[in-house]
Amino acid sequence: MIYVSSNGGVSWTQSLNLQDGRRIEMAVSPAQPTWVYAVVSGIDDGLYGVYKSTNSGASFIQIFSGTTSNLLGWLSNGSGTGGQGWYDLSLAVSPTNANTIILGRVLTWKSINGGSSWVYSNGAHVDKHMHKYTSGGQLFECNDGGIYMSADNGATWIDKSSNLSIAQMYKLGVSQRSSGEVLTGLQDNGTQSLNNGSWDYANGGDGMECIIDYNDANVQYSSTQSGNI
C-alpha cells in the first residue's frame, strides 16, 4: 500500500491499495517533480507491477505488469516466476529525463519510455540494493559485489570498489603444510585463495565452506550456495 501526505506528515491518505503486493520502492525525478514511480514485488517476491503517478502520489496507474515480464526474477529475458524482492529491490529515475528509469533486483533493467518497456542492463555484479543519480547524471549502483558507476544510464558500468576492503568472509581454510596459504569463502563473491602474498579468484557463486587438505596443500575444496561442493 502507498499513502500520501500533503501536510508534512500530519495526516495520510491511501493512494494505492494492492492486496497481493509486498515490498515497494519509489522514485522521483527533478525533471518531473509531480511524477512518482513505484515498483512492487508480489507474494512470490517476483514482479507484481510498476506504477506511476502524475499528481504527486495522489493516485497511481499500473504501467507495467509482472505477467508481461518478471523483472524481479533471475533470468535476463524476464521469464520465470518468483524472485527475492524481500532481499534486494531498487528504483531510480534520471534527474534530466523522467522517462529514463533504472530498476534493480537480481539484475538491472532500464526503461527509456517511462516504464512501458524494459531492457536488461549488463555489466555489474548481481543483487541490487540501491541506485542513485548525481545531479550531473552519473548513476551509482550498490550491489552484493560493491559499488559501480555508470555515465550512460546503465549501458556500461565501472567497478568503483576495487580498493575497498568490504568482503564478508564465511569460512577460512588454512594449509597445514604450506605457510601463508589460505582459502576463504566470501558472501556473494565466490572463493578467493591467498598464496605467496596475493589473492586470486578460485571459484564463483556465493562462497561458503572451504578447506585445504591437511596432508596435500594442492588438494583444496570450496563450496557455493547452500553448501554445494
The topology under which CATH files domain 2-159 is: Methylamine Dehydrogenase; Chain H (2.130.10)
What is the per-residue pLDDT for 212?
87
Cα separation, 141 vs 153, in Å, equals 11
Cα separation, 198 vs 196, in Å, equals 6
Q: What is the DSSP string of 27-59?
A: EEETTEEEEEEEEEE-TTSSEEEEEEESSTTS-
Cα separation, 191 vs 122, in Å, equals 23
> Domain residue spans in the chain?
2-159, 169-227
Q: Looking at residues 139-160, what average pLDDT do you find?
A: 93
User: Whole-structure pTM over 0.95, yes or no?
Assistant: no
Q: Looking at residues 43-56, what average pLDDT do you find?
A: 95
Cα separation, 61 vs 142, in Å, equals 29
What is the per-residue pLDDT for 65?
94
What is the per-residue pLDDT for 202?
84
Which residues neighbour 67 within 8 Å (Cβ) at sequence distance 6 or greater? none
Nearest to 40 by CA among 59, 27, 58: 27
Q: Pull the grid cell for residue 48.
A: 507484481
Least confident of 79-83, 148-152, 177-181: 177-181
Q: Looking at residues 90-105, what average pLDDT do you find?
A: 97
Of 67 and 197, the one with more pLDDT: 67
Residue 122 banded pLDDT, cuts 50, 70, 90:
confident
Nearest to 25 by CA among 58, 60, 51, 5: 51
Which residues neighbour 51 within 8 Å (Cβ) at sequence distance 6 or greater? 16, 37, 38, 39, 40, 60, 61, 62, 63
**What mean pLDDT is reported for the chain?**
90
